[in-house]
Amino acid sequence: MINFEYHVPTKIYFGPDEFSHLGKEVASYGKRVLLTYGGGSIKKTGLYKKVLEQLAQFDLQVTELSDIDPNPRIESVREGGELCKKHNIDVVLAVGGGSVIDCSKFICAAACSDIDPWEWFTPTRPKVTKALPLLTVLTLAATGSEMDAGAVITNLATNEKIGRAFPQLLPKVSFLDPTNTFTVSPFQTAAGSADIISHTLEAYFSQDKDLFFLDTFMEGLLRTVIKFAPRAMNKGDDYEARANLMWASTWAINGFVNGGKTQAWSVHPIEHEVSAYYDITHGLGLAILTPHWMRHVLAKDQEHTLPKFVQFAEQVFGITSQELSDLDKALAGIDALQTFFVNDLQLAPSLSKLAIDTTHFDAMAKHAAGQAGVIHGFIDLYPEDIREIYQASL
């Protein structure tokens, strides 16, 4: 039985002509703005200047927090929260990709709280009850953070990378201009596309009674990424490719595809341990692990997983030959995805290519299974399953 709530009030401005609304929108939330961004690529592209011009039109007082890292750190959250308190910030404007936006979400929360921000990620799991309003200008199609309520924060001191979500963290307004992703490198485009695919697959592979309608949506979304990611890698300023990737990235994870499903994600927690231990690009880790996760769960419980793998092969990759058995189709679909990651997206095929060895596999597998000792995903995965998936991905 399908029951769910869907409520995604984020306002989206899509396309270059919509950027002129930025100043007005930020100003509607207050006078004192914290502007957050990453390593400064927005200064090279000219976006930084355009943002400041928009804010200047409304005489907004701007405080800046730069150098937010990929896999954003709890230290940046603390620093941002303190800046907000010190400067009595009204609204946060995040300009960047998922890392900058994720970090800014918990900065918004930290600004309104007296606890140390890492407490939100500890086993006591207090709730975020209040946060400053967040607006975003997206520069990378990947995480979907621009229209969802979640964020993933890394604590390198404890080798932990943990995601949490609260409705208070949902951005109020997000500006999605595909031209702001023209300068994204082929590698980052590929890693972002792998992230989009993974978000979709985490919802798609479920044993809940799915809504066929949402399956068709996810299959179309996957075909969109498979069609346009190589085009965007090949020609960075291909507007149609960038626009399709950008809007698809948002909808892979804004809650729509989940409609009524209870099951948790599988590959993301498995990958988060790799990123936490080795600080690799999240999407790259997902691309390496996903096909091995697929083969593992198919082999472990073919009875319950085969039909969806067959549907995936048929609807996403058009593998419909009547000469193939269902199992052959399923395996061909998995192979096709891996080939897409390695050949089309040119992503590394294995963990060993990233100089990762078995050293931490036991600890990573245990962490990935979490407090409960099991990932309740498409099928249940225990630490020994997770370790086997790491091993197969070497």
Q: Which residues in this chain contact a copy of itself in the complex, by CB under 8 A?
A: 1-18, 209, 211-217, 219-221, 223-224, 227-228, 239-240, 243-244, 247-248, 251, 259-260
The residue behind tokens 């996403």 is: 316
Q: Considering the complex, state which of residue 6 and residue 119 has its C-beta at the smaller distance from a copy of itself.
A: 6
Closest CB 374 distance from a copy of itself, rounded Å: 26
Contact 352, 358 (CB under 8 A): no
How many CA atoms lie within 13 Å of 322's alpha carbon, on the beta-carbon side? 0
Q: Distance between CA 347 and CA 55 in Å, rounded?
A: 39
Contact 380, 302 (CB under 8 A): no
Contact 239, 187 (CB under 8 A): no
Q: Considering the complex, state which of residue 207 and residue 302 has its C-beta at the smaller distance from a copy of itself.
A: 207
Q: Considering the complex, state which of residue 63 and residue 207 has its C-beta at the smaller distance from a copy of itself.
A: 207
Strand duo 61-65 + 32-36: pairing:
parallel
Q: Distance between CA 237 and CA 232 in Å, rounded?
A: 7
Closest CB 156 distance from a copy of itself, rounded Å: 36
Closest CB 255 distance from a copy of itself, rounded Å: 10
How many CA atoms lie within 13 Å of 202's alpha carbon, on the beta-carbon side? 27
Closest CB 18 distance from a copy of itself, rounded Å: 5
* CA torsion through residues 112, 118, 123, 124, sign: negative
Q: Considering the complex, state which of residue 87 and residue 231 has its C-beta at the smaller distance from a copy of itself.
A: 231
Closest CB 1 distance from a copy of itself, rounded Å: 7
Q: Considering the complex, state which of residue 106 and residue 175 has its C-beta at the smaller distance from a copy of itself.
A: 175
Give the residue among 261, 313, 268 at the shortest CA–CA distance from 286: 268
Distance of CA 244 to the CA centre of its chain: 16
Q: State the amino acid at position 43 in one-letter form.
A: K
Token pair recorded at residue 158: 């404890």
CA distance readout (Å), 253 to 78, 106, 150, 293: 26, 19, 10, 20
Q: Considering the complex, state which of residue 125 and residue 209 has its C-beta at the smaller distance from a copy of itself.
A: 209
Q: Considering the complex, state which of residue 11 and residue 130 has its C-beta at the smaller distance from a copy of itself.
A: 11
Closest CB 312 distance from a copy of itself, rounded Å: 14
Closest CB 199 distance from a copy of itself, rounded Å: 14
Distance of CA 251 to the CA centre of its chain: 11
Q: Distance between CA 373 and CA 370 in Å, rounded?
A: 5
Q: Considering the complex, state which of residue 130 and residue 227 has its C-beta at the smaller distance from a copy of itself.
A: 227
Closest CB 264 distance from a copy of itself, rounded Å: 20
